[in-house]
A = this chain, B = another copy of it.
Amino acid sequence: MIAQTSDFLSSIPIFHGLDRDELAKFGELVRERAYPKGSVILFQDDPGDSLFVLRSGRVKVVLIGEDGREVILGVLESGAHFGELALIDDQPRSAHVIAMEDSQLLILRREDFRRRVDANPSVAWALLQELSRRLRRADEKIGGLVLLDVPGRIARLLLDLSQESGRPAIDKVLTHQTIAQMIGASRETVSRAMKEFQDSGLILVERRRISIGNREGLEKRAQVRV
């Protein structure tokens, strides 16, 4: 069991630099916990002292307005981790994290994490790379929200997702509602735009699976309209 856990950990970039012994130590320090679909794993503004690694399932990172509207900052899948920020800067959680499916999580406490980071600079380096990646994405997202119209943002999202999967298709199953919350639009507008994309052959939708029909065309949509 512990062996399995440390194998899993070793597949995660921020733990790559660790040798067998260290991985084993980590394996002993983590707790494992299940969260049913819909449960809140952590609350925005709470003080945080744990790092989470998603072992199975799917979670969303969201901001929620007082009126209840949700903005999805990210959807994470197996192997992803979250909650590091609070460990790094001792600030409260910056967003809610909610299980979109039944999920299994590994939990690591701040002190254990910090000790390991200090002891192994390559972990710090990997973390820096991960934060850089997220920062770039966040800035791109800001640019998209300001410069692109809704179809443009959808096109960009689809291109991103297909790139992520390495194939001209999107693996994640996303409802229109979810897409809408990811790009800051209403479900109805997303429905209409997706219909448009289908009709013009830019994408193919079959049985809850989306594939890119015409990358060129989509990319054009993802440009600023002049």
Which A residues form the contact surface with B (CB < 8 A)? Answer: 63, 65-67, 69, 71, 73, 84-85, 88-89, 91, 94-95, 118, 121, 124-125, 127-129, 131-136, 138-143, 145-147, 184, 223-226
Task: Name the residue among A66, A124, A125 with the largest chain B CB count within 10 angstroms.
Answer: A124
Chain B residues within an 8 Å CB radius of A118: 121
Copy count, this protein chain: 2
Q: State whether B146 touches A94 (Cβ < 8 A).
A: no
Choose from B69, B138, B145 the contact partner of A184 (Cβ within 8 Å).
B145
Chain B residues within an 8 Å CB radius of A145: 142, 145-146, 184
Least CB distance, A88 to chain B, in whole angstroms: 5
Chain B residues within an 8 Å CB radius of A73: 139, 142-143
- A135-B135, A145-B146 known; 8 new pairs, CB 8 Å cut-off, are A66-B224, A85-B135, A88-B132, A89-B129, A94-B136, A94-B139, A95-B139, A128-B131
Which single residue of chain B is at the shortest CB-CB distance from A121?
Answer: B121
Q: State whether A132 touches B85 (Cβ < 8 A).
A: yes
Jot down 15 A-B pairs with beta carbons below 8 A, ordered by A: A63-B142, A69-B224, A73-B139, A73-B142, A88-B129, A91-B136, A94-B136, A121-B124, A124-B125, A124-B128, A135-B138, A142-B142, A142-B184, A145-B146, A146-B184
